[in-house]
Amino acid sequence: MNTDKPTPLEQEIENRREEIKDELESLFKSNLKISHWDVPEVDGQKSSEMILEILQEKLDELRVEVKEKKYEYS
């Protein structure tokens, strides 16, 4: 059994977990909605997949930057 107490940082991020996930979902839905406004007879599945690919591409870029310690602040 792990009895390690979470650090204040871990607690803070965990407390905001749903907020962070909701913001990402909101970004996805906003872009999906714009696609539907801008393109008549849009293919909802295709636009959803393309938007997810873009979001994943950026998440992958951020993951690399985090590993490179680009976002470490003192």
pLDDT at 8 (0 to 100): 93
Non-local CB neighbours of 44 within 8 Å, separated by 6+ positions: 32, 36
**How large is the average pLDDT for residues 11-24?**
97
Whether the model clears a pTM of 0.85, i.e. scores above it, the answer is: no
What are 18-59's pLDDT values in tens digits?
999 999 999 999 999 988 887 878 888 999 999 999 999 999
Where do the domains of the chain lie?
9-67
* pLDDT reading at 13 higher than 70: yes
- pLDDT over 70 at 1, yes or no: no
Strands (DSSP E) contained in the chain are none
- The answer to whether 32 and 53 are in contact (CB under 8 A) is no
